[in-house]
Amino acid sequence: MADEGIFATTAEIQRKAGAGASAVSKAEAYTNDYVAQAESTINGMVRYNFSDNYAALNVDTRDILKQVASDLAAIYVIQYDMSGFTTRTEAEDMINVLRDAALRGLSILRDKKVQDFINNS
């Protein structure tokens, strides 16, 4: 099986999910599903389909999409099974950090001027 995500790879998602993440939920079959959901969420929330235009985007400006997609997908990985973490609080703290980063990135992407910058760079 190969990475099917447009914005983020399985390896990027696994790194953010951490060592305590379930082997099942960080497997490529699962992360492919999670990243597809994250990409759709991003496109819907910013009201622009970056997926269709991704290949034309500048490499330097793709990283914000990678960051948000991998943050959201890593949250799904962690919440699938929190038993591998030292405590539930540890898993919840990781989710909170990832959520905050994703929300910050989504806020930036919602700005029409940022969308124009990404598309024209």
pLDDT in tens, 45-65: 999 999 998 999 888 779 999
Residue range 75-86: mean pLDDT, rounded: 96
Q: Output the average pLDDT for the chain.
A: 93
Residue range 67-78: mean pLDDT, rounded: 98
Global confidence as pTM: 0.93
Q: Determine the residue type at 111.
A: D
For residue 117, pLDDT beyond 90 = no
For residue 15, pLDDT beyond 90 = yes
Distance (Å, rounded) from C-alpha 59 to C-alpha 41?
21
Give me 105's structure tokens. Answer: 């990135």
The burial of 42, by beta-carbon neighbours within 10 Å (0-12 exposed, 13-18 middle, 19 or more buried), is given as buried
The kind and range of the H/E element at 96 are helix 88-110
What region, left, alpha or beta, does residue 11 occupy, with left being phi > 0 and alpha being psi -120 to 50 degrees? alpha
Distance (Å, rounded) from C-alpha 15 to C-alpha 51?
23
User: Are 74 and 12 within 8 A, CB to CB?
Assistant: no
